[in-house]
Structure 1
Amino acid sequence: MTYRIDVLPAAVRAIRKLPPEAKRRIQAVIDVLAEEPRPPAAKKLTARPEWRVRTGDYRVLYRIEDEVLTIVVVHAGHRRDVYEK
């Protein structure tokens, strides 16, 4: 069963600012999330309601809404910046 992917506007802005190679890697991760929202590499964050998946030095933070089969990408970016509010 395929999940719908929603990317928040703030995440879109953050992804646009990344280098081309990072954009490709993040897009590939997001595509995988549509098929498998909890891949083995994903981790549930302890202090936040989001999940995290790593791709090199970059992270994608997302929420899973199982009742409506939706993945909401909250933020994406370099690991040093992505956890800041």
Structure 2
Amino acid sequence: MKLIILSGAQKTLRSMPKHDAMAMLGKLHLFAADPYARHAWAKSFGDGDGRIRHGDWRALYQIDNGVMTVTITRVGNRREIYR
């Protein structure tokens, strides 16, 4: 599937520590390659929504099967991302 990272999520990725941002990007690309595979660091909330975690960082995603995309809507620290 195609990976789309919204501008707000891109901004957060750029402001993260470099090693965390690179690891998160790697996980995002692995997830987008096969979003329905079992990933220990990914959790589905249902209806195509879920989260990907790396340390204290979380990325919220939405899967759209109609256009075959995984959209990263938000990236942030775990204590702030769900607010």
Structure with more of its chain in strand, by fraction: 2
User: Do Structure 1 and Structure 2 share a fold, with TM-score over 0.5?
Assistant: yes
Moved over 4 A (4+): none
Q: Structure 2: how far apart are the matches of 1:33 and 1:15?
A: 17
What's 2:65 paired with? 66
- TM-score where L is the length of structure 2: 0.83
**Structure 2 residue aligned with 1:11, among 2, 9, 20?**
9
The range that moved more, 29-38 or 63-72, is 29-38
What's 1:37 paired with? 35
Give the CA deviation at 1:50: 2.3
Q: Structure 1: how far apart are the matches of 2:13 and 2:81?
A: 11
**Structure 2 residue aligned with 1:26, among 24, 29, 35?**
24
Unaligned runs of 5+ in 2: none
Give the CA deviation at 1:44: 2.1
- TM-score where L is the length of structure 1: 0.82
CA-based RMSD of the aligned residues comes to: 1.8
Q: Structure 2: how far apart are the matches of 1:28 and 1:49?
A: 20
Unaligned runs of 5+ in 1: none
SS at match of 1:68: coil
Give the CA deviation at 1:28: 0.7
Q: Structure 2: how far apart are the matches of 1:22 and 1:43?
A: 19
Cα distance change of structure 1 residues 34 and 49 upon mapping to structure 2, 3 Å threshold: closer
Aligned-residue sequence identity (percent) comes to 28
